[in-house]
Structure 1
Amino acid sequence: MTLQAAQEQSARSSDGDKAGKTEKADKADKADKALYGGTSTRRITVHDIAAAKRRGEKWPMLTAYDAMTASVFDEAGIPVVLVGDSMGNCHLGYETTVPVTLDEIAILSAAVVRGTRRALVVGDLPFGSYQEGAVQALRSATRLVKEAGVGAIKLEGGERSLPQTEMLVRAGIPVMSHLGLTPQSVNTMGYRVQGRGDEAAHRLLRDAKAAQDAGAFAVVLELVPAELAAEVTRSLDIPTIGIGAGPDTDAQVLVWTDMAGLTGGKVPRFTKQYANLRQTLGDAARAFADEVSGGTFPQPEHAFH
């Protein structure tokens, strides 16, 4: 082999080593930044959410209403936890989300923040806490940021909530919009699929784009036809989060009591049970009660002397 050929072979080998190292570094960087399964332990921000959209990464979101449950989801790697006004139905015993107060949201949001280290915690603005206008919305959102420590807030409505969204974003508070079925409007729209028909679909798409233009960092699409949700997702630069909106949104969210099988009675068709905690807890309660009534609990090892 001539000297020139040897030098060329050495250069090719060096270039190959560099390419291999670059590829490994890129993979490690991607693993570090991934929302779900990522190795970074710092608190997730809305900038990470935006980066996931650019990477085409899909990610999960769950609700939580207390520190212990939130800590379980945080340890499981759930990147975004929503303290939703769904607490009204599944935690506080209300028939709808309408009675939920800002005080209740603030108390439970603070608990969820204390129970998490990595997840971005989003606090819901409940009915009556932002509908008066932008100033009321800023006052309410400021409470959740300052008192509870949430990293973002969620509010319902597209064009009708633009002044509120714009005000909060200007004040430095990240906003997640909520379109489609908006449970706080249950008294006027009921619980039914939204966006069916050309006119309704165009209106929802317009609302989504308006929310993005106002500065929202993400949009929840609830009970929306899958095809429309896919179109909205393609049309936006910010991520969409589906619940009953088909598989093509950037993320998916479920109410945790539905996901874990704790909710009793009929549950929405778009949910999926990944456990049966209602059965598990019921069995545990009956086993405890049987041992107490039968005199077999506590045993000597459970007592102090």
Structure 2
Amino acid sequence: MTQSNEPARTPGTPAPGDAAPTLYGGRGSRRVTVRDIAAAKRRGEKWPMLTAYDAMTAAVFDEAGIPVLLVGDSAGNAHLGYDSTVPVTLDQMIMLSAAVVRGTRRTLVVGDLPFGSYQEGPVQALRNATRLMKEAGVGAVKLEGGERSAEAIDLLVRSGIPVMAHVGLTPQSVNAYGGHPVQGRGDEAAQQLRRDAKAVQDAGAFAVVLELVTGDLAAEVTGELVIPTVGIGAGAQCDAQVLVWTDMAGMTDWPGGRKPRFVKEYARLREVLGDAAKAFAEDVVEGGYPAPEHSFR
């Protein structure tokens, strides 16, 4: 066994020339890992997560310093034109996840296990999570469910696959919910959510998404867990926050204008792209494009 002359480091802190000690905006020569996520929880550092579904958009977010990108099955709604996440296939998730990995250098890329790819049990979950890691190159996977998914999480983690869990509203169960109700209201519902969060932590998940959970309950769960919570519609006290990037950037066309309460638009890219397309079309129709400088001699 060889000995290193480097000084001892606190777990979670980077080596010289490696990733910055903060998650957001850090620069370095390696990808963010689950150890960095754990260290951020110990420091009390909040961090952002966005979804991404293609290499070009992922590269923009990576360059902006976003430390974690989720290749979510939200691609069903935001990228593939489905009405829900349910139709998304594992092959589609592998293709999209591989593109995001290719477009990034630093961010931790988390690939979603879609509906039907793990519900049969731990062995199915391991088989399909292994495909996501081997074929797409993701650094972790995400799956929905608390106590009901604990055995699958345990097997994945013991097999060397980092897992981000997802409790509260789980969109793959939209047909069972009959919509998108806020979770954790009432003593019984609150206790179940606590049990779910504790179960995924005990099973080895490195983080847990809390979706559409009352703010007070999410704050309590965040304080009770050692692993970080990632909120989406779960109040301001979670350790991290995630948004679907097309919602965040103002690309989504909300049916009837009914934008969810938790969504904040930081740009109006739908208008920007629409204006650009119209300007191009008018330029073509009026003969302004291509101009001489756009042509070859």
TM-score above 0.5, yes or no: yes
- What amino acid maps onto 2:129 in structure 1? A
Does the 8 Å contact 1:61/1:252 carry over to 2? yes
Report what 1:299 is aligned to: 291
Once structures 1 and 2 are overlaid, which stretch shifts more, 178-187 or 34-43?
Answer: 34-43
Q: 1:271 aligns with which of 258, 263, 286?
A: 263
Counterpart-to-counterpart distance in 2, 1:123 and 1:94: 19
Report what 2:194 is aligned to: 205
Counterpart-to-counterpart distance in 2, 1:272 and 1:32: 28
Deviation at 1:94, TM superposition (A): 0.3
SS at match of 1:81: strand
Does the 8 Å contact 1:33/1:40 carry over to 2? no
Counterpart-to-counterpart distance in 1, 2:289 and 2:200: 58
Counterpart-to-counterpart distance in 1, 2:28 and 2:266: 26
Deviation at 1:39, TM superposition (A): 3.3
Q: May I ask how many residue pairs the two structures share in their alignment?
A: 280
Q: 1:258 aligns with which of 240, 243, 247?
A: 247
Counterpart-to-counterpart distance in 2, 1:149 and 1:110: 6
Counterpart-to-counterpart distance in 1, 2:30 and 2:46: 20
1:19-98 → structure 2 map (5 Å cutoff): 32-98=20-86
Does the 8 Å contact 1:193/1:225 carry over to 2? yes
Report what 2:223 is aligned to: 234
Deviation at 1:45, TM superposition (A): 0.3
Indicate whether 1:219 and 2:208 are aligned. yes
Deviation at 1:71, TM superposition (A): 0.1
Counterpart-to-counterpart distance in 2, 1:127 and 1:177: 14
Counterpart-to-counterpart distance in 2, 1:32 and 1:73: 17
Q: 1:244 aligns with which of 233, 252, 255?
A: 233
What do the CA deviations read for 1:175-222 (whole angstroms, capped 9, x no partner)?
000001100000011211011101000000011001000000000000
- What amino acid maps onto 1:167 in structure 2? L
Q: 2:181 aligns with which of 181, 187, 192?
A: 192
- What amino acid maps onto 1:120 in structure 2? L
SS at match of 2:111: strand
SS at match of 1:33: coil
The runs of 5 or more residues in structure 1 that have no matched partner are 1-25
1:95-244 → structure 2 map (5 Å cutoff): 95-189=83-177, 190-244=179-233
TM-score, length basis structure 1: 0.90
- What amino acid maps onto 1:196 in structure 2? R
Counterpart-to-counterpart distance in 1, 2:166 and 2:175: 17
Deviation at 1:33, TM superposition (A): 1.1
Report what 1:16 is aligned to: none
Deviation at 1:41, TM superposition (A): 3.4
SS at match of 1:167: helix
SS at match of 1:39: coil
Counterpart-to-counterpart distance in 1, 2:191 and 2:146: 12
Counterpart-to-counterpart distance in 2, 1:238 and 1:103: 30
More helix by share: 1
Deviation at 1:91, TM superposition (A): 0.3
Deviation at 1:268, TM superposition (A): 1.4
Does the 8 Å contact 1:33/1:39 carry over to 2? no
Deviation at 1:269, TM superposition (A): 1.3
Deviation at 1:282, TM superposition (A): 0.2
SS at match of 1:99: coil
Counterpart-to-counterpart distance in 2, 1:294 and 1:40: 49
